[in-house]
Amino acid sequence: MGEPMCRNLARKSGLGVVAWDPRQEPLYRLAADGVSAANSLEEVAGRAEIVFLSLPGEAEVRKVCEGLQGNTVVDCSTAPVALARELSLKMQFADAPVARTRQAAIDGTLSIMVGASDALYARIEPLLRCMASDVTHCGPPGAGQAVKLLNNMVLSVTVMALAEALAVAKASGAVDPKVLFETLMKGSADSFALRNHGMKALLPETHPEKAFPVSYMAKDVGYALDLARSARLELAGAGTAYQLLKETEKLGLGEAYHTALIEAVRKRRAS
């Protein structure tokens, strides 16, 4: 996600953009758009006033922010709410996780949910709009992460329900799976998840790598469950989705698209 976001920022902002990545290939490609490649995180910290992060999760965000104490940091990763609140007390920090697909990142049509003070939001909003068609100020630090985590939690539970419906249709032979999903789209079970994850991935059983994987969705749902527990809530649906995702990882499908959790659904047998 970070590479196309960086590209859109360079193309649309009119500002100089410097980037660093432990992999060289994205930096080579971004050079064609005028992005200057740094040799280290320390070089980015020294050259950039505002630093955008696109990282796997909490451990990486925490480590990188240790080297960015003098910068304004906009974290576009998906990470815990508690981490965003903690970092905002130590530095100029906004959590700005992104939603929608990698194609949306390429097209500059992401949805970005922002947790930040009013002053910091006003400062970074024009830059975020270079990467997104929808930018929402959700509240103070942590609010953006809360919305993103709950979004992914709802998506995962919906994908789980679709996977279960599809598994039943196939195992029982009661209805053609394609007829099932096409008919669901005409009724109250219709959803973005059905039209995209259901029709494009679950139905054809296409779970490619280098898309949003099982391991990332498990991480995000785990963070959502942590947030729920901090509010003294136990979530049955999200808890089941998390367990299925972890079971899918154990099947060796951790890097497959997160719809691969249907394989864990199939492994479960009624007693």
Give the separation between CA 36 and CA 19, rounded to whole angstroms. 6
Q: What is the mean pLDDT of residues 57-73?
A: 96
CATH pick for 2-140 out of 3.30.360.10, 2.60.120.10, 3.40.50.720, 3.40.50.150: 3.40.50.720
Q: What is the mean pLDDT of residues 232-254?
A: 98
Portion of the chain with pLDDT greater than 90, in percent: 97
pLDDT in tens, 116-153: 999 999 999 999 999 999 999 999 999 999 999 999 99
Strand partners, 51: 73
pLDDT in tens, 19-29: 999 999 999 99
Among positive and negative, which fits the CA dihedral 107, 20, 73, 146?
A: positive
Give the separation between CA 135 and CA 128, rounded to whole angstroms. 7
Question: Which tokens sit at 138?
Answer: 């959700």
Determine the straight-line distance between the first and last CA of the chain, rounded to whole angstroms. Answer: 42
**Which pLDDT score is estimated for 271?**
60
Whether pLDDT at 63 is above 70: yes
Name, in order, each residue with C-beta under 8 angstroms of 66's C-beta and a sequence gap of 6 or more: none
Residue 235: CB atoms within 10 A of its CB come to 17
The overall average pLDDT reported for the chain is 97
Whether pLDDT at 102 is above 90: no
- H or E stretch at 134: strand 132-139
Domain 147-267 has CATH 3.90.170.10: no
Would you kindly state where each structural domain of the chain is located, as residue ranges? 2-140, 147-267
Give the separation between CA 87 and CA 66, rounded to whole angstroms. 10
Q: What is the mean pLDDT of residues 8-30?
A: 96
